[in-house]
Structure 1
């Protein structure tokens, strides 16, 4: 009897068996709400900043052989202007802080499109590394915006990994760590090579040379002797 009562309750809430119609209705409501939540969550894929980032993918650029010359020039003249405006408005504070001339970006965008379509290589095989190397002097500000967009992480996995590492470093026993020390420890944890590949000699020499107090002058020789004996 006790097992039957426990089976009909979950976390203190009574569970009742409904008919098939009620079950189907509940499923439909759940799926509708799930679709609404996903639509709200990923709405930037069709509008907004995230949608405008498609500008940096050459697969979205119109091919030069798609239409007649006059119509094609008309297409590339307006191509990407709306997306560029969205990106510039969104990242304007960051760009200006970095010394980028935001007001020059629209004109440089037009120049860059003309230069890109003069390239003998197909845009589908083009890379932004090559574009930066070829047109950095003529279009520096628009290419800085492109670099910023290309730096977007594909997912938040690395950020989540960083937070997990921070929890391991800043435990209850080390809750008084200052920000600078915590940042240095996280840098060691996240950016250092594997222990099997790590060569500590440079770190040991830095520790020995930059110390405020004097170190043993023969500590390296002693370490070599110990290693030779082993």
Structure 2
């Protein structure tokens, strides 16, 4: 029975990690859709076209993987809408080899996009279930970000400062620890607001001063303190 169960697990993994011509065609269409919606950074669009989003989806949503929508991924979390992922990433302006802190690994999809752009990624997840799943999946895909299970509000000061910080959940305020860990000349992208709607906020640190600009409203799951699991 153990051998049969292990074999079924391997078969399910192999099936999940299958990337067909149909999947690639759907990604191409998604990339063009995002371009029409105003995403212009070709490196970001190429990353969206490269990373198989269906790998990160629950089985019941696989057929919808390339719709421009958010979907549940377990632990009361979601995989973000592709437009939102592309918008945040474009706003972040990720340079190759940049040290990037991601707060909220979630499914790992955004993490893969950052890795695909050539960033050195440090990613934090507070949900044990998602931390374990994303770590395993991204490893299978060949990505090697630095994973941490912990409280995203606190960041990772021991590994900072970071040229870029990306927060993938809605925060009621901008965590001071994250501002402290932002390098001089660095950029942070964070959705700020209540549990209903947030404003996408860009923070740039120049000569020790913080400059903020707002870039439209979005809806994210809340950024929570502490850890779960």
Using structure 1 for the length normalisation, give the TM-score.
0.21
- Higher percent of residues as strand: 2
Greater fraction of residues in helix: 1
TM-score, structure 2 normalization = 0.21
Larger radius of gyration: 1
